[in-house]
Amino acid sequence: MATTPKGTSRPARGRTRRTQPAAGHSPAERKAVGKAIRSEVPRSSHGPWTAEASRFDPITLLEEQSSDRLPELVPIRYGRMSRSPFAFFRGGAYLMASDLATTPQTGLRVQACGDAHLSNFGVFASPDRALVFDLNDFDESIPGPWEWDVKRLAASIAVAGRDRGIALDRRSEIVKGAVAEYRNAMNRFADMDTLDVWYARIDERVLSDALQQLKPRQVKDITKGVEKARTKDSARAFAKLAYDVNGSARIAADPPLIVPIEDLVPDLEAKQLQEGLHVLVEEYKASLSGNLRHLIGRYEFADAARQVVGVGSVGTRSWVVLMLGRDRDDPLFLQAKEAKRSVLEPFVGKSEFQNQGRRVVEGQRLMQAASDIFLGWLRTPGLDGQARDYYLRQLWDWKGSADLATMRRSDLDVQVRRCAWTLARAHARSGDASGIAGYLGSSEVFDRAIAVFAEDYADQNERDYAALIGAIDSGRVEAETGL
């Protein structure tokens, strides 16, 4: 659970407007209320950012997060975060949430992603088997300030730009372009009918139209990425992760990244294991709608293994579960990922959902234009007997994301604008688009302010990254690299 470190005070909240436009008011009236907020929270106030003298020690916060994670995996987390300032940024959502709590707030709330950095957007298959581009990580999702997501996305652009060696002027232009895309999209969503906002998405048709405006090389890169995403399904996962043992399918061990459950509990009899996992599958099924309970009922459990995933999530408990349909050539891989309290919770209040897995699922369904049909949740005792919350989803379902390390600089601007539009759409689905649009307006004032914030926070991220490297070098924390 993310809490304020022992011995330190809770970060002070920034200036916050408490008046939320009423849902019953007309769009014009809500825009007017949003515009009026500027008098208390000027758009320019979101710009320059400096750390307070009493700012937390970043390593203390990371250690706090690690306190209830699997201790043997925590060094892998530090090792992955030590790869680069951008890798550190990916794992530092709690650090940034603590900093954002000190910044100005408009009081307009949405279903926030909580970790809307560039690498948390990508393509995947919708239930109607179209390839869509959307947010794809909701571990921290909870109702909160819309501007926090915008600032995390903008800062990630600045940090990634520095990693790529992009000059300051060009980085600032890319950030301003992304924020302008968010602002313009929010203004358009404010004028759209409710259902039109709900159905809006970037899918293959939209991508196809966009390709006509791009250079041949850019078209080739995007087409290649789409084709690669289509190959990532359960059949491909089976070929990579599983093997046959006397006619039975098993997940191959690759410790410490993949450890089969029988290696974790070698003394547990196979029958007991099967019975226990059957109970868990039944509990998970209860979180699905009736038709999907019938669908998942067509599959039988085959095997499970603990899996290390991501950067910031390393050390939390994550499982890959192999299910089989009509035969071994009909696999379904599910991922069961531990859901902890959102890193935003200490600063925005508790979720309405007691089960943190449900918090993640409900947030994902609200923010995404189309979500995995197998999204569900459960609460179960772990191998240590402690009850924990999990959410489940397909492991691979045409999933793909941009490789920022190899992306051409000229393509980065296209990618960040796509992410910004998607974030605005996600916020418009859950929040008051008219109020936010009224606050943002039509000028570039907010765009310029966030560009300044992004660079200031990229500076802070580099200082925090240096602190981690220093902690590793001094032996304060242990890091395992190369994994």
Which of residues 216 and 464 earns the better pLDDT score? 464
Q: Is 247 left (phi over 0), alpha (psi -120 to 50) or beta?
A: left
Mean pLDDT score across all residues of the chain: 88
Report if residue 482 sits inside a domain.
Answer: no
Report if residue 11 sits inside a domain.
Answer: no
pLDDT band at 10 (very low <50, low <70, confident <90, very high): very low
Domain total for the chain? Answer: 2
Report if residue 456 sits inside a domain.
Answer: yes
pLDDT band at 12 (very low <50, low <70, confident <90, very high): very low
Least confident of 94-98, 359-363, 374-378, 412-416: 412-416
Residues 314, 76: Cα–Cα separation, whole Å: 7
Report if residue 190 sits inside a domain.
Answer: yes
| Statement to judge: residues 208 and 329 lie in one domain | no
Helix (H, G, I), strand (E, B) or coil at 248: strand
| Statement to judge: residues 59 and 158 lie in one domain | yes
Of 374, 394, 414, which one is at a domain's C-terminal end?
A: 394
List of residues 6+ apart from 7 with CB closer than 8 A: none
Which tens digit of pLDDT belongs to each residue from 180-202? 999 999 999 999 999 999 999 98
Residues 237, 323: Cα–Cα separation, whole Å: 12
| Statement to judge: residues 288 and 219 lie in one domain | no
From residue 128, give the alpha-carbon distance in Å to each of 10, 27, 221, 358. 45, 32, 25, 23
The fraction of the chain above a pLDDT of 70, given in percent, is 87
Residues 351, 359: Cα–Cα separation, whole Å: 7
Which of residues 238 and 334 earns the better pLDDT score? 334
| Statement to judge: residues 62 and 164 lie in one domain | yes
The whole-number average pLDDT for the span 22-39 is 88
| Statement to judge: residues 173 and 220 lie in one domain | yes
Residues 407, 243: Cα–Cα separation, whole Å: 34
pLDDT band at 207 (very low <50, low <70, confident <90, very high): low
| Statement to judge: residues 70 and 215 lie in one domain | yes
Least confident of 40-54, 269-283, 323-337: 269-283
Which tens digit of pLDDT belongs to each residue from 275-287? 677 778 888 999 9
pLDDT band at 274 (very low <50, low <70, confident <90, very high): low
Report if residue 15 sits inside a domain.
Answer: no
Of 394, 420, 443, which one is at a domain's C-terminal end?
A: 394
Residues 22, 96: Cα–Cα separation, whole Å: 30
For the chain, report the end-to-end CA distance as a whole number of angstroms. Answer: 25
| Statement to judge: residues 270 and 184 lie in one domain | no
Which tens digit of pLDDT belongs to each residue from 91-111? 999 999 999 999 999 999 999
What predicted TM-score, i.e. pTM, was given to this entire model? 0.91
Report if residue 467 sits inside a domain.
Answer: yes
Report if residue 297 sits inside a domain.
Answer: yes
Of 345, 366, 394, which one is at a domain's C-terminal end?
A: 394
Q: Do 32 and 438 form a contact (C-beta atoms < 8 A)?
A: yes
From residue 406, give the alpha-carbon distance in Å to each of 401, 412, 475. 12, 10, 33
| Statement to judge: residues 193 and 69 lie in one domain | yes
The whole-number average pLDDT for the span 143-147 is 98
Which of residues 3 and 337 earns the better pLDDT score? 337
In 339-483, alpha helices (H): 345-348, 356-367, 409-430, 433-440, 445-474
pLDDT in the model for residue 218: 56
pLDDT in the model for residue 1: 39
**Angle between helix 168-190 and 433-440 (nearest 10):** 140
Report if residue 483 sits inside a domain.
Answer: no
**Full domain range(s) for residue 47:** 27-227+406-474
With 60 as the cut, is the pLDDT of residue 367 above it?
Answer: yes
In DSSP terms, which residues pair with 391 in a beta bridge?
337, 377
| Statement to judge: residues 98 and 83 lie in one domain | yes
Which of residues 61 and 129 earns the better pLDDT score? 61
With 80 as the cut, is the pLDDT of residue 269 above it?
Answer: no
In DSSP terms, which residues pair with 67 in a beta bridge?
none
Least confident of 86-95, 303-312, 473-482: 303-312
Helix (H) or strand (E) holding 202: strand 202-203
With 70 as the cut, is the pLDDT of residue 211 above it?
Answer: no
| Statement to judge: residues 219 and 238 lie in one domain | no
From residue 397, give the alpha-carbon distance in Å to each of 57, 229, 374, 426. 39, 8, 11, 21
With 50 as the cut, is the pLDDT of residue 423 above it?
Answer: yes
